Amino acid sequence: MSDIFELDPRLAAGTFSVGSTSLSRVLLMNDARFPWIILVPAREGVSEPFQLALSEQEALWRESMVLAKALKRYFEADKLNIAALGNQVSQLHVHHIVRFRNDDAWPGPVWGVGSTVTYTEAAAEALMDDLRRVLREPLALR
């Protein structure tokens, strides 16, 4: 296990980087159908949350809860979907997906539903600005 963390290229490819917390990279999934943030603890060789050190497990769940709460409030979400799956990309990453009763996948999960709709450059920039403003304090975002 190396101690030099490198974001899995498959996670990097479909996302924008919102910033970093003390533990994690914060990514915005490039799919305009669902506001969708992914936390990736910057620890090499970890695929399950319980493989993190105990203090890092606690930090991850604290970040996850703070993020979910902020997203729910900002987007006035009907529901948050929070999930660590990792069947395709084993590098530990936790999905936080804002769900609405009228979204394209409701009431099912979002995975495998339809096709990705990428953000326009302007929409992505505007959303990233908003997310950084909203998440800076609760996540101590850098």
Closest approach of its own copies to the CB of residue 125, in Å: 28
What are the phi and psi torsion angles at 116 (to 5°)? -55, 135
Stretch that binds its own copies, among 9-17, 24-32, 105-113, 123-131 (CB under 8 A): 105-113
Alpha-carbon distances, residue 1 vs 44, 46, 47, 93 (angstroms): 7, 9, 12, 18
Q: Which span (14-22, 28-36, 74-82, 119-127) binds its own copies, by CB under 8 A?
A: 74-82
Give yes or no for a contact between 96 and 39, defined as CB atoms under 8 angstroms apart.
Answer: yes
| Amino acid making up residue 1 | M
Say if residues 96 and 15 touch (Cβ distance below 8 Å). Answer: no
Residues touching its own copies: how many (CB under 8 A)?
30
**83 lies in the binding site for its own copies (CB under 8 A):** yes
Per CB under 8 A, the list member of 17, 22, 47, 120 interacting with its own copies is: 47
* Binding window for its own copies (CB under 8 A); candidates: 22-30, 64-72, 121-129, 134-142: 64-72
